[in-house]
Amino acid sequence: MSDLLADLRAQLGDRYRIERELGGGGMSRVFVAEELALGRRVVLKVLPPDMAATVNTDRFRREVQFVARLQHPHIVPVLATGEDAGTLWYSMPYVDGDTLRGRMSAGAMTVREVITVWRDMLDALSYAHKAGVVHRDIKPDNVLLSGRHAVVTDFGIAKAVASATSTDGGSAALTGIGFVVGTPAYMAPEQAAGMTEIDPRADVYSTALVAYEMFTGTSPFGGMTPARALASQVQTMPAAPRTLRVDLPPAIDALLMRCLAKELDDRPASADAVLEALDAIDTAGGATTPAAQTKGAGGAARTAPASRGRGIAFLGVALAAAGVATWLLMKGGSTRTASAPTERDLLIVASFAHEAKDSSYSRAVSEALRIDLQQSPKVRVAEPQLVARTLQAMRVAPDAELNDSLARDLGRRTGAKAFVTGALRPLGTGYAITARLVSVADGSEVAALREPAKSSSELLDAIDRLSKALREQAGESVSSLRASPALPSVTTASIDALVAYAVATEYMRNGEQFLASQQYEKALEIDSTFASAWSGLSTALSNMQVRRADRDRAVLRAFNLRSKLPPVERLKIESRYHSARGEFTEEMAAHKALLAIEPTNYAALNNLGRLMMGQGRYAEAEPLLRAALVSRPGSIAPWEMLYDAALARGDSALVDSLRRTSTSVSSPRAPIAVASDRAASAGDYTSIAKLLDSILASKPAVDVQGPAATRRFTLQLLRGQLGTAERDLNGALSELAAKVDPSAMFEGAANLAEARIVALDDSSGARARLAKLETLVARSGAAAEDQKTLYRAFVHARAGNVAQARRMLAAAEPLLPRDTTWRNWIGGEIALAEGRPADAVRSFRRVLGAELFCTICGSGGLARSYDALGQRDSVVAIYEKMLANRDPEARWGEDVFERARALKRLGELYEERGNVAQAIRRYREFVELWKDADPALQPVVQDVRERIVQLEQKRG
Residue 577 contacts residue 556 (beta carbons within 8 Å): yes
Residue 321 contacts residue 390 (beta carbons within 8 Å): no
What distance in Å separates the CA atoms of residue 209 and residue 188, rounded to the nearest whole number? 9
Total Cβ atoms within 10 A of residue 693: 12
What is the helix (H) or strand (E) element at residue 134, kind and residue range?
Answer: none
CA angle 153, 156, 157 (to 5 degrees): 80
Burial of 246 (0-12, 13-18, 19+ CB in 10 A): exposed
Closest-CA residue to 63 (of 201, 166, 216, 210) = 166
> Is 690 marked as binding a ligand?
no
What is the helix (H) or strand (E) element at residue 749, kind and residue range?
Answer: helix 744-760
- Hey, is 23 helix, strand or coil? strand
What distance in Å separates the CA atoms of residue 180 and residue 165, rounded to the nearest whole number? 11
What distance in Å separates the CA atoms of residue 173 and residue 802, rounded to the nearest whole number? 41
Active site residue 137: yes
User: Cβ neighbours of residue 869 under 8 Å, at least 6 residues apart?
Assistant: 86, 837, 838, 841
Residue 689 contacts residue 723 (beta carbons within 8 Å): no
Residue 28 contacts residue 4 (beta carbons within 8 Å): no
Residue 393 contacts residue 664 (beta carbons within 8 Å): yes
What distance in Å separates the CA atoms of residue 229 and residue 231, rounded to the nearest whole number? 5
DSSP string, 695-715: HHHT---HHHHHHHHHHHHHH
CA angle 119, 122, 124 (to 5 degrees): 110
Residue 431 contacts residue 424 (beta carbons within 8 Å): yes
- Hey, is 402 helix, strand or coil? coil
Residue 196 contacts residue 44 (beta carbons within 8 Å): no
User: Cβ neighbours of residue 7 under 8 Å, at least 6 residues apart?
Assistant: 85, 87
What is the helix (H) or strand (E) element at residue 851, kind and residue range?
Answer: none
Total Cβ atoms within 10 A of residue 802: 15
- Hey, is 437 helix, strand or coil? strand
First-to-last CA distance in the chain? 35
What distance in Å separates the CA atoms of residue 526 and residue 541, rounded to the nearest whole number? 20
Residue 385 contacts residue 602 (beta carbons within 8 Å): yes
Residue 33 has phi, psi (to 5 degrees) of: -145, 165
- Hey, is 318 helix, strand or coil? helix
Closest-CA residue to 532 (of 564, 496, 560) = 564
Q: Supply the DSSP symbol for 92.
A: E
- What sections of 761-858 are H helices per DSSP? 763-780, 789-799, 802-811, 821-833, 837-847
Among 50, 58, 120, 137, the one annotated catalytic: 137
User: Cβ neighbours of residue 659 under 8 Å, at least 6 residues apart?
Assistant: 643, 674, 678
Q: Hey, CA dihedral for 447, 448, 453, 457, is it positive or negative?
A: positive
Burial of 176 (0-12, 13-18, 19+ CB in 10 A): buried
Annotated binding site: 45
Catalytic residue annotation: 137
Annotated binding site for ATP: 45
